[in-house]
A and B are shown apart, each in its own frame.
Chain A
Amino acid sequence: MEHVLDQIINGLQLGLMYALIALGYTMVYGVVKLINFAHGDVFMVGAFIGYFGFQHWGLPLPVAIVNAVVVCAILGVTIERIAYRPLRYAPKIAALISALGVSLFLEYFGSLKFVFGPNFRVVQRPFEEVRWEVFGVTITNIQVMIAVVVVLMLLALQFIVYRTKIGMAMRTVSVDHNAARLMGVNVDNTISITFAIGSAFAAVGGVLYAIAYPQIHPFMGIMPGLKAFTAAVLGGIGIIPGAVLGAIIMGQVETLTSAFLSSQLRDAIAFFILILVLLIRPSGILGKNEPDKV
């Protein structure tokens, strides 16, 4: 029984990590209706910058995180400016292909020897891992840290989206670009800020991921990116609580499958559940089914 609880805690750790990435996907999708395939690679860049910060540049961990956040936010805005903005009124698929291009660019550029290098790097944690026994369940300080950071960031995001002017602008743009523009919303700026916030979340996710699973390489963003995106779809894309719910489900499914069935089957089962959910509720668990428009 304790073993099950341990696995659920591990699943929660993974799920919260996915949630940080999924929020970026869901925000960008909500505002520009684009699957930002490069998001997983922004996450990778965040992990690397964070790693360089606390391991090679000798920065204290919080400064290293802030550093990664700033770099990734700038990167996200730049990507949007260069690769997506020229395609805003082109067919949606063109922006998707461009996103794929950016994703490949970040991966291959990152693997160049003078950038991050093609090899796996082992991360030395900036602090020791401490294990606590709470009612027979093992909890580590890293898990606690992740949970605290993720909850704080979620609260911050809820505050930004529902209590600030820029959040209101985001919600307006997500409903209708043109109407938002008519109401005096600066659509371009709003989209840039959405990318900045999403990328900042990915950066925090990346640094935490590097600390929790201490091995990084330039292609590490692909799978977590895909899983996080799946999580966003699972919960209902464009809906913030949906992304978190979907991410926690994905984390649990993956961890429990690895622990009790086979670690090779975890991807298959995770995606099988996704397909099942989509068949039953095509717009995700928390999504609203929209009637067909003629």
Chain B
Amino acid sequence: MAQKKSATWLLLLGTVAFYALIKVLQLSGLMNDYWQRVLDQALIATIGALGLSIIYGFTGQFSLGHAAFYGLGAYSAGLLDKLYGSADNYLFLAISLLLGMLVAGLLALLVGLPILRLRSDYLGIATLGFGIIVKVGMDNSSKFFPPLGGATGMSGVPQSAGFDLIFLLTVLAIIFTRNFIFSSYGRACTAVREDEIAADVMGINTTRIKVLSFVLGCMLAGLAGGIYAHRYPFLHPSSFDFLKSFDFLLIVVLGGLGSMTGTVVTAVAWVFLLEGLRFVLGESFIDFRGVIYALILIISIILRPQGIFSGKELAALVPQSLTAWRQKDKEVTHVSS
């Protein structure tokens, strides 16, 4: 037990230390604007990927349309702030982020109720189709409402989200995900993932659980999108197409299905890898970036098909009661911090 408490403290300490390190780097000028953007992008990707981790990693619902909800959040939050907000109006920023989450969540509910009846690949294809429909909608949005910009993209959203806010929201998203996963609802999700029929027989309302996890996951995507709109001044439909959905899927699968730790680490690593390649390759080999990206993807999945963390969790993220129980059981080993 004592060991467990120290793990939680270490995690808290680590979070604060990480924040302080970034601050020092910023003040000393070692962290330039470019790398700051990459870091913010990594944290935003983490929030979105945590959403897909709930949907696919923990509930087993294969969704290929995650970027659609990310885009819906970005567009709705961005639009509200663009029309009525101003820079540095934090109350309005909060309201528009909330709106982004609500729009994504509401659409997830409307879409999820019918299509979550589908299984595995079929669900994937249906959500992929939904993503493409949303993308077409974004492309043509200027016909219904000119400020949305349509195929030329939307600009003019106040850039009021900085690193502090993004970091805070990422930590909150991790805490929220962790608390959800280990709640009774979260365990019902895992039961649905492992065997839907058995879960049903055990008295779990599987439809309700699947829709619940889908809506929550999509709300996280919406939140990530809302922050994205407030951090990067230009929203374009092609940033939210199905290739972006694959990005989230790669992160969740490479990190290991059913591992929050894996999702967070892989999301950050993946974004930094993508940008880092630009520097490593240099001007003359920049064309090889996509090729190397693809090769890393193939090689890493062949070497570790179960993902980097394969269901393991940082000990500090697992609640105490469960740790004690698992230590007796010895079935699951943790990566202790």
Contact A104 B297, beta carbon cutoff 8 Å: yes
Residues of chain A within 8 A of B291, CB atoms compared: 105, 108-109, 112
A residues at B contact (CB < 8 Å): 35, 82-83, 86-87, 90-94, 97-98, 100-105, 107-109, 111-113, 118, 226, 229-230, 233, 237, 264-265, 267-268, 271-272, 274-275, 278-279, 282-283, 292-294
Q: Which residue of A lies closest to B298 (CB)?
A: A101
For A264, the closest partner residue in chain B by CB is: B140
Q: Are B121 and A35 in contact (CB under 8 A)?
A: yes
Cβ of A267 and Cβ of B136 under 8 Å apart? yes
Question: How far apart sit A209 and B213, CA to CA, in the bound complex (Å)?
Answer: 42
Cα A87 to Cα B119 in complex, Å, equals 22
Say yes or no: A83 contacts B132, CB within 8 Å: no
- Expressed in whole angstroms, the minimum distance between the Cβ of A234 and any Cβ of chain B is 9
Question: What bracket does the count of chain B residues touching chain A fall in?
Answer: 35 or more
Interfacial chain A residues near B289, Cβ < 8 Å: 108
Enumerate chain A residues within 8 angstroms of B302, measured Cβ to Cβ: 83, 86-87, 98
Q: Using CB atoms, name the residue of chain B closest to A34.
A: B121
**Given A97-B254, A101-B297, A268-B137, A90 and B122 touching (CB < 8 A)?**
no
Q: Which residue of A lies closest to B120 (CB)?
A: A92
Asked if B169 lies at the interface with its beta carbon under 8 angstroms from chain A, I say no
B197 at the interface (CB under 8 A from A): yes
Chain B residues numbered 263-312 whose CB sits less than 8 Å from any CB in chain A: 287-291, 293-295, 297-298, 301-302, 305-306
Chain A residues, Cβ within 8 Å of B124: 35
Contact B305 A87 (CB under 8 A): yes
A sample of 13 more A-B contacts (CB under 8 A), given A275-B115, A282-B117, is A94-B301, A94-B306, A97-B254, A100-B249, A101-B295, A102-B294, A102-B298, A104-B290, A107-B290, A113-B287, A118-B287, A275-B126, A278-B125
Q: Which chain B residue lies CB-closest to A84?
A: B302
Contact B298 A272, beta carbon cutoff 8 Å: no
Within 8 Å CB of A282, what residues of B?
A: 117-119, 122
Tally the A-B contacts, defined by beta carbons under 8 Å: 123
List chain A residues, Cβ under 8 A from B295.
101, 105
Q: Is there contact, CB below 8 Å, between B133 and A91?
A: no
Give the distance in Å from the alpha carbon of A94 to the alpha carbon of B298 in the complex: 9
Contact pick for A265, options B136, B242, B253, CB 8 Å = B136
B129 CB within 8 Å of chain A: yes
Give the docked Cα–Cα distance between A283 and B123 (Å): 11
User: Given that A83-B298, A108-B294, A283-B122 are contacting pairs, would A271 and B129 also be in contact in the complex, using a CB cutoff of 8 Å?
Assistant: yes
Q: Is B221 an interface residue (CB 8 A)?
A: no
Which chain A residue has the least Cβ–Cβ distance from B137?
A268
Q: Is B219 an interface residue (CB 8 A)?
A: no
Chain A residues lying within 8 Å of B257, measured Cβ to Cβ, are: 91, 93
**Binary contact track B228-263/A, C-beta < 8 Å → 1, others 0:** 000000000000001000100110011001000000
Chain A residue nearest in CB terms to B129 = A271
Give 14 CB contacts A-B under 8 Å.
A97-B253, A100-B250, A100-B297, A101-B297, A104-B293, A104-B297, A111-B287, A230-B125, A271-B128, A271-B130, A271-B133, A272-B133, A275-B115, A282-B118
Is B146 on the interface with A (CB-CB < 8 A)? no
B residues with a Cβ closer than 8 A to A are 62, 114-115, 117-122, 124-126, 128-130, 132-133, 136-137, 139-140, 197-198, 242, 246, 249-250, 253-254, 257, 287-291, 293-295, 297-298, 301-302, 305-306
| Chain A residue nearest to B123 in the complex (CB) | A278
B305 engages A112 (CB within 8 Å): no
Known A-B contacts A107-B290, A267-B136; the reply to A274 vs B126 at CB < 8 A is yes
Q: Which residues of B contact A105 (CB under 8 A)?
A: 291, 294-295, 298
CA distance A118 to B253 in the complex (A): 30
- Report the nearest B residue to A107, measured CB to CB: B290
What separation, in Å, do the CA atoms of A240 and B15 have in the docked complex? 55
Residues of B within 8 A of A230 (CB): 125, 129
The interface residues of chain B lying within 8 Å CB-to-CB of A83 are 298, 302
Question: How far apart are A38's CB and chain B's nearest CB, in angstroms?
Answer: 10
Nearest 9 A-B pairs (CB), nearest first? A108-B290, A90-B305, A271-B129, A105-B294, A94-B305, A101-B297, A101-B298, A104-B294, A268-B136
Q: Is the beta-carbon distance between B129 and A93 smaller than 8 angstroms? A: no
Query: Which B residues touch A237, using CB under 8 A?
Result: 121
Report yes or no: A90 in contact with B293, Cβ–Cβ below 8 A. no
Among B114, B115, B133, B298, max chain A CB count under 10 A is at B298
How far apart are the CA atoms of A97 and B306 in the complex, in Å?
Answer: 11
Residues of A within 8 A of B288 (CB): 108, 112
Which of chain A's residues have a CB closer than 8 A to the CB of B242? 226
| Distance, CA A112 to CA B290, complexed state (A) | 10
Q: Are A279 and B140 closer than 8 Å at their CB atoms?
A: no
- Give the distance in Å from the alpha carbon of A98 to the alpha carbon of B115 in the complex: 26
Check A292 against B297 for contact (C-beta < 8 Å): no
A278 with B301: in contact, given A97-B250, A108-B291, A267-B132 (CB under 8 Å)?
no
Inter-chain contacts of A91 with B (CB < 8 A): 257, 305-306
Residue in B closest to A227 when the chains form the complex, CB atoms? B132
Complex Cα distance, B288 from A224, in Å, reads: 25
Give the docked Cα–Cα distance between A275 and B128 (Å). Answer: 10
A247 to B137 alpha-carbon distance, docked (Å): 24
